[in-house]
Amino acid sequence: MNDEFLKAKGILEKYNQEHILNFYDKLSEEKQNKLINQILNIDFEQIGSLYENTKHEVEFGNSKIEPINYLEKDKISNEDFKKFNTIGTDIIKNDKFAVVTMAGGQGTRLGHKGPKGTYDLGLDSHKSIFEILCDTLKKAKEDYGTYVQWYIMTSEENNRQTVEFFEENNYFGYDKNKVMFFKQGQLPMCDTKGKLMIDENGLIKEAADGHGGVFESMRKDAVIDDMKQKGIEWAFIGGVDNVLANMVDSVLIGMSIANNVPAAGKSVVKAGPKERVGVFCKRNGKPSVIEYTEITNEMAEAKNENGELIYGESHILCNLFSVKAIDEISKNKLPYHSAFKKAKYINEKGELVVPEKPNAYKFEAFLFDAFESLNDMAIMRVKREEEFAPVKNAEGVDSPETARELYKNFHKN
């Protein structure tokens, strides 16, 4: 028994998690070391309090929620449009702009084996989601004469497969030197009793810590340093799963600079009061997003004199940040939220359990919690049919089928 083992054992005893070592003797030496390393690095106090929080309803009672101002892209005056476009074009052409794609999610709802970006959308071309996003950047090369720097956030779980996919596909013809991968952090999952779980490798089951982990990971993996060194001033941060994401948008960049705001978000009109999306709002005077689980019926249904939903600017995870703002945000921790998910695990008899229903808590930070640390933020309403085709579920709403139709319709024009 070495010192590290004894130390790890002591920690587990203190936090009632001794079961984690039940199969220790059966593991290879490499895995034993990994497990001990995990135990020594996990913040058990934090996981304990995150688990305790799952027992209480989240309270929003005291925050003051108000609608947020937005600009509709289609209704920007010719003069302003030209001005924004000129400013933004200059930034892109001079390599002061980058795209960050968050592809560290598990994509449990889609159920595709492998990273979501590797999913074949079912077009005649059989392009993967990554290739479709890359097409947008290749188009930007034609428009602006430069390869936009592309950072791709992966997770511990999918990093290797993601990088291999790009290598095998020769980076879809993009400039390989302009693509950089980085990994997001992870947190242990726990069962309904607060016990950590054992994964198929005999290690503690961990999962990516949410898209809000992007800022901290950009700091840890020196992405922010890389941006500064390259003279990048603005970055679009978006999810991997919107095949119509318009990531290189000179007007959005120009509008942010002209309005002197540190960040901007794109919105689309909420499809109806019941659509399961978060909407932009002001919370205690700061930009924010109110989630569909959080909004009252009354607020969700409230309309203005034009018959439009007052809280109707859906957040589509298409946001722009100045690198300075990213740097500031990354210095602070965002709160974690819990989600109840299905998670495979090894039970006390050493058998693999593949649950049919959710059985475990996953802790995630949300990117939009960072908005509240900003003084201001510009919101630009864009057209859903032009910029939003999410791939979330295996079938039904926001599925490959709906995204494929939206993609085809858009590209027909």
Residue numbers of the site for ligand UTP (CB under 6 A)?
A: 102-109, 116, 153, 184, 208-211, 213, 239-241, 317, 364, 392
Smallest distance from the beta carbon of 102 to ligand UTP, in angstroms? Answer: 3
CB of 241 or CB of 249, closer to ligand UTP: 241
| Helix or strand (DSSP H, E) at 214 | helix 214-220
Contact 52, 46 (CB under 8 A): no
402 beta partners: none
Residue that the structure tokens 């100045």 belong to: 322
Smallest distance from the beta carbon of 158 to ligand UTP, in angstroms? Answer: 9
186 beta partners: 208
CB of 240 or CB of 295, closer to ligand UTP: 240
Measured distance CA(307)–CA(199) in Å, rounded: 51
Smallest distance from the beta carbon of 76 to ligand UTP, in angstroms? Answer: 28
Measured distance CA(54)–CA(189) in Å, rounded: 12
Sorted by sequence, the CB contacts under 8 Å of residue 78 that are 6+ apart come out as: none
Amino acid at residue number 117: G
SS3 182: strand
Measured distance CA(216)–CA(104) in Å, rounded: 14
Smallest distance from the beta carbon of 195 to ligand UTP, in angstroms? Answer: 22
CB of 88 or CB of 390, closer to ligand UTP: 390
Here the tokens at position 75 are: 């209704």
CB of 312 or CB of 390, closer to ligand UTP: 390
CB of 152 or CB of 203, closer to ligand UTP: 152
Smallest distance from the beta carbon of 300 to ligand UTP, in angstroms? Answer: 20
User: What is the DSSP code (8-state) at residue 307?
Assistant: S
- The burial class, CB within 10 Å (0-12 / 13-18 / 19+), for 139 is exposed
Smallest distance from the beta carbon of 155 to ligand UTP, in angstroms? Answer: 6
CB atoms within 10 A of CB 10: 11
Smallest distance from the beta carbon of 164 to ligand UTP, in angstroms? Answer: 17
CB of 107 or CB of 400, closer to ligand UTP: 107
Measured distance CA(188)–CA(232) in Å, rounded: 34
CB of 251 or CB of 268, closer to ligand UTP: 268
- The burial class, CB within 10 Å (0-12 / 13-18 / 19+), for 338 is middle
The closest residue (CB) to ligand UTP is 105
Measured distance CA(82)–CA(76) in Å, rounded: 9
Smallest distance from the beta carbon of 119 to ligand UTP, in angstroms? Answer: 11
CB of 92 or CB of 316, closer to ligand UTP: 316
CB of 36 or CB of 247, closer to ligand UTP: 247
Smallest distance from the beta carbon of 109 to ligand UTP, in angstroms? Answer: 3
User: What is the DSSP code (8-state) at residue 226?
Assistant: H
Contact 277, 107 (CB under 8 A): no
Q: How long is the chain? A: 413
